Amino acid sequence: MKMNISGWAVLPALLAASVQAAGVPEKSTSNRDQHSVSVTIYNENLALVKDARRVELDKGGNLLAWRDVSARIMPETALLREEGGASLTVLEQNFDFDLLTPRKLLEKHLGQKVTVIKTHPQTGVESREAATVLSTNDGVVLGFADRIETGVPGRIAFDTLPGNLRDRPTLLLSLDSSASGKQQLELSYLTGGLSWRADYVAELNSKDDRLDISGWVTLTNTSGTSYADARLQLVAGDVNRVRPELQRANQLAMAAKAMPAAAPMAEESLFEYHLYTLERPTTIAEQQTKQVALLSAAHIPVRKELLLQGRDYYYRSSVGDLGQKMKVGVFVEFDNKGQGLGVPLPKGVIRVYKKDSGGRAQFVGEDRIDHTPRNEKIRVKLGEAFDVTADKKQTDFQKISGGHSGYVFESAYQIDLKNAKDEAVTVRLIEPIPGDWEILSESHPHKKPTSNTAVWDIPVPAGGKASVTYRVRARF
């Protein structure tokens, strides 16, 4: 027999249709048949689920209803594999997400007969009356033999249950098996509704020069199903995704099967990302947020910095007063290395505490950190200093030259730093100066870490103040 290419293309659909037409009874599998499940969660509301079950199949055509899948499954990414010796061919798959509810049941019986059951309030005797469902828009409209009523005047009984309504999200698979009996099947798919983030809690010591830090993974499951005793893995990194459609998902599922087992909340490289594996199974329940310990480290050296950040606009024009009692930012910085650290840290929020004189931990600020490789610096802004302020003004501005060859400006500044604390502090001044510039005069020596930045580190005595003056020439 000859068959052209287009004929081969439609063969699976014809085989699937023949399975349906042959009246093959539907087989059902649920979480009761599950012998293992693993969940790999990515940063942006994406997870890979690998659900392994023991399922009874017949030789030849089968209709398998795979219940308890995620309600937010991406059906186009589903991949069914047989882990034994039998050969398995998936002919067709359908995701039934039209779930059974009283409203859906009424909608599916639109134009059909139902039975209305009423109970007499005095005698308790039940009466039954046939009615036709006329509408379910903004309420229920029922047509009786002699009248039309709105609302539900009693209980409604239905003779049949529509076949396309499911009590749980279900993937219906039409498949052909080369053997009968119990088979080891694994369904892999990508889904939304599962997400994770890293949260860090740190406590500063009394001198603000060391901190203790612990990291937690916060998981949220809104996928529509639970994952009992799951092997949990987390991928940290910015995975590119095609939007709105996610393509080549089956290749991703296949690649994920090769992930090796790891030690307790161990970290390893995965392509250009990092993979964290929990050593023990954990249950991720539906509509649940749970936390899993990620790391813990103590006595980490920390550097505290008071920072006044300037702007570049006032080097081009005359502005005069630049601010009174300006806020000075408070930052802490530490290195991702040492005992307990020294591993790639997923992005997340770090919250910092410090004990008061009574030994009670008080919240002193929080900030968001990005994915941080090992040995890199972590810099956290905690807030603005209360007792350290600055007054800043432009004391002179001159246009030296201007025209086709460019402009040259000279400007002078005074910054008065005030410290109301009982201890001396050092304030870092950062000025972004545009163009080709040079400092003509200054009260304190500056550093030039980059081509457009001047930095001064100014000590300010306890209960006192310090003034910084400088003149700059800028060419544009």
Band of residue 243 on the pLDDT scale cut at 50, 70, 90: low
Give the strand pairing for 227-236 and 266-270: unpaired
pLDDT tens string 34-69: 999 999 999 878 999 999 999 999 999 999 999 999
For the ranges 118-122, 227-231, 426-430, the lowest mean pLDDT is seen at 118-122
Residue 369 pLDDT > 90: yes
d(CA 392, CA 267): 48
pLDDT tens string 82-106: 887 678 899 999 987 766 778 888 8
Residue 62 and residue 22 in contact, taking contact as beta carbons nearer than 8 Å? no
Q: How many angstroms separate the Cα of 145 from the Cα of each of 105, 149, 376?
A: 22, 11, 79
What pLDDT is recorded for position 250? 42
pLDDT tens string 276-291: 898 889 999 999 999 9
**0.85 cut: is pTM over it?**
no
Residue 265 Ramachandran class (φ > 0 left, ψ -120 to 50 alpha, else beta): left
What pLDDT is recorded for position 268? 80
pLDDT tens string 176-215: 999 899 999 999 999 999 999 999 999 999 999 999 999 9
Q: CB neighbours (10 Å) of residue 453? A: 15
Strand 155-157: give its sheet, edge to edge.
148-150, 141-143, 126-135, 113-119, 155-157
pLDDT tens string 15-37: 444 445 456 889 999 999 999 99
What pLDDT is recorded for position 23? 64
What pLDDT is recorded for position 244? 54
Residue 414 and residue 467 in contact, taking contact as beta carbons nearer than 8 Å? yes
Closest CA to 27 of 143, 140, 174, 155: 174
pLDDT tens string 246-269: 444 443 333 333 333 333 356 787
d(CA 49, CA 51): 6
What pLDDT is recorded for position 21? 41
Band of residue 272 on the pLDDT scale cut at 50, 70, 90: confident
d(CA 233, CA 219): 11
pLDDT tens string 449-461: 999 999 999 999 9
For the chain, what percent of residues have pLDDT higher than 70?
Answer: 89
Closest CA to 328 of 434, 208, 458: 458
Give the strand pairing for 194-204 and 348-355: parallel
When the pLDDT of each residue in the chain is averaged and rounded to a whole number, the result is 87
Count the alpha carbons within 13 Å of 409 in the hemisphere toward its beta carbon: 15
What pLDDT is recorded for position 169? 86
Residue 304 pLDDT > 70: yes
What pLDDT is recorded for position 99? 66
What pLDDT is recorded for position 18? 45
